[in-house]
Structure 1
Amino acid sequence: MSGWRSAVRARGRPEELPRRGTPRGRLLTADDLDEARRVCALDPVTGVLAAARLDVAALVGLEAAGGQAWGFPATGPLAAVCWSGANLVPVVPPAVTGQDAVDAVDAFAALARLQGRRSSSIVGERTVALALWERLAAVWPPAREVRPDQPSLAIDGDPLVEPDPLVRRATLADVDVVLPACVRMFAEEVGYAPVATPGSAYALRVRSLVAEGRAFVHLEPGAGAAARSPVVFKAELGAVAGGVAQVQGVWVDPVLRGRGLAAPGMAAVVVAARRDVAPVVSLYVNAYNAPALATYRRVGFEQVGTFATVLF
């Protein structure tokens, strides 16, 4: 990679952040959002999920953004933040270590216990996310799945393979073919199909990404945008903040896998995202998904950290 390096560094195993009392955090208000975003910017790749929601909150308000922002410590300058919405996303920057890191996780766990489980997942830097879940496991419903090893990858230069010239931004005319592909991807990745009826939260989310120019597709050659042709390849920029665009929802039609379509498709997404959206493109992937890891590394992505996800 050229020039840019993440501040991410390994924290060790989650048990290295032991339980310790209930240090207090605080519910953030609109007046705290700029400072919270600065905390996320200390490690922009790891913080992009929370930072993207904080950006929305700064534009439309916390209530309209669909979640809460928590901060640590309870008084004084913020050292760590956590977004609590559809996902619970703790952000404890790498410079926050030792007892301060323990106290931050304990504070967020205390707030999460008070609120109760409203999120469909806990996701973030591996040690922090797993330590937070270790504190909540006794009081929240059981997790459906824990994914403890998800390499976080990033690229800040030109891809190492030629981009697929047929990958383009999806348009609203493509929604009727993009949405079913998104549902199939989600079901493969998460284990169940989301409710995607017209007007559902999932359908509106897909439509919003398309409308914002953050969805990319390769449709079957020769088919018009309105035709119900197969989606060969698709991906979305699911979170954008702090100079980072995080790719989500990468999918190749199963009948076309093994033909080398994913790497050129991802290369096209990287080129477009770096040109028009953000200079750094990131994603995270399950460590056991060897084919995906090989594809991303072939494109030029490098590992800059490790995430973990707890699914409910």
Structure 2
Amino acid sequence: MLTTDRGIRVLGPADLDEFLALTARDPVANVFVEYRGRSTRLDTRWLGGEVWGRYDAGGRLTSACHVGANLVPVEADEEAARAFAERALAKPRTISTIVGAHAAVEAFWDVVGPEWEDVRELRWRQPHLLIDHDPAVEPDPAVRRSVRSDFNNLYPACVAMYEEEIGVSPEAAGGREMYRARVLQLISRGWSFARYDAGRVVFKAEVACVSPTAAQVQGVWVPEDRRGEGLATRGLAAVVEVVRREVAPTVSLYVNEWNTPARAAYARIGFRETARFSTIMF
């Protein structure tokens, strides 16, 4: 097999089965990259980037790295993460986020950190959680899937959540139309859930990506003046119930280590920690 530096080459549609076998080693933690592989068939035209594969001397795919807006090491040990980092340094940086298993992200950052100095925030140890059973609290019956007519009420809540979580507006630098399209896409897929009180969003969450094994949840949010009422706990329980019944048997998410109220809510629902992620944002 012809490979490039340190056994790394760009993967394509012919490599999809081998790539999916790699993500299947931990299908819940790897749900994002598996979703990207399945939805694009590793065709760079649809990926908006590349997936790099690293091979051993026998020609076996041992790790990978998704390189789009998000750079995500896949089943990468320290040596593989460093090899991917060296390849990344040889190209102009186009990514906005590095995210993945803590050990792999840390090894990657050891190499690129001195060169990629414009980092905005490092979140080193984010608990990765999953639930594969019924929620332990009563779901909120008022939570439902959003529909197209909810958009004008939902969109400001999505912007507020993004600004609070990421620290910048999703509409910055001309991003408004792209973000509006993303929110509409989630609605159209049935992946947007919310509770609307007199038209106002008082809880929301989305499914970010899906595989046959798992669905990853993102954007869990309650407006500041309604926090402490249990809306997030019962609301997310409702999301878990529907997603496990209709989308995938396991629901996962990752949370900032310092977000004690959210972690407590997830624990009450029945989520358990299985790993630690890290996120580096530019």
Matched, 1:31 2:14: yes
Provide the residue aligned with 2:90 in structure 1. 114
| DSSP 3-state at the match of 1:283 | strand
> Which of 232, 245, 254 pairs up with 1:275?
245
For each residue in 1:150-174, what CA deviation from the matched residue of structure 2 results, as whole angstroms up to 9, or x when unmatched? Answer: 0000000000000000001111111
For 1:209 and 1:166, locate their aligned partners in 2 and report how far apart those are by CA, in whole Å.
Answer: 19
For 2:185 and 2:49, locate their aligned partners in 1 and report how far apart those are by CA, in whole Å.
Answer: 18
Q: Is the 8 A contact 2:170 2:176 kept in 1?
A: no
C-alpha deviation, 1:107, in angstroms: 2.2
Question: Which stretch shifts more, 282-291 or 170-179?
Answer: 170-179
- Change in CA separation of 1:173 and 1:145 when aligned onto 2, cut-off 3 Å: same
> Which of 160, 177, 183 pairs up with 2:136?
160
For 1:140 and 1:56, locate their aligned partners in 2 and report how far apart those are by CA, in whole Å.
Answer: 30
Scaled by the length of structure 2, the TM-score of the pair is 0.93
Q: Is the 8 A contact 1:44 1:242 kept in 2?
A: no
> Which of 253, 258, 267 pairs up with 1:288?
258
Map 1:90-129 to 2 at 5 A. 90-92=73-75, 101-129=77-105
Q: Is the 8 A contact 1:126 1:149 kept in 2?
A: yes
Which amino acid letter does the alignment assign opposite residue 275 of structure 1?
R
Aligned residues: 276
Scaled by the length of structure 1, the TM-score of the pair is 0.84
> Which of 256, 269, 282 pairs up with 1:299?
269
C-alpha deviation, 1:199, in angstroms: 6.8
Unaligned ranges ≥5, structure 2: none
> Which of 173, 189, 192 pairs up with 1:215?
192
- Change in CA separation of 1:306 and 1:67 when aligned onto 2, cut-off 3 Å: same
Q: Is the 8 A contact 1:51 1:242 kept in 2?
A: no
Which amino acid letter does the alignment assign opposite residue 179 of structure 2?
Y
| DSSP 3-state at the match of 1:298 | helix
Which amino acid letter does the alignment assign opposite residue 19 of structure 2?
A
Question: Which stretch shifts more, 106-115 or 127-136?
Answer: 106-115
Unaligned ranges ≥5, structure 1: 1-21, 94-100, 224-228
For 1:194 and 1:241, locate their aligned partners in 2 and report how far apart those are by CA, in whole Å.
Answer: 26
C-alpha deviation, 1:131, in angstroms: 1.2
Q: Is the 8 A contact 1:23 1:103 kept in 2?
A: no
C-alpha deviation, 1:114, in angstroms: 2.2
Which amino acid letter does the alignment assign opposite residue 20 of structure 2?
R
For 2:117 and 2:11, locate their aligned partners in 1 and report how far apart those are by CA, in whole Å.
Answer: 26
| DSSP 3-state at the match of 2:94 | coil
| DSSP 3-state at the match of 1:185 | helix
C-alpha deviation, 1:62, in angstroms: 2.5
- Change in CA separation of 1:207 and 1:198 when aligned onto 2, cut-off 3 Å: farther
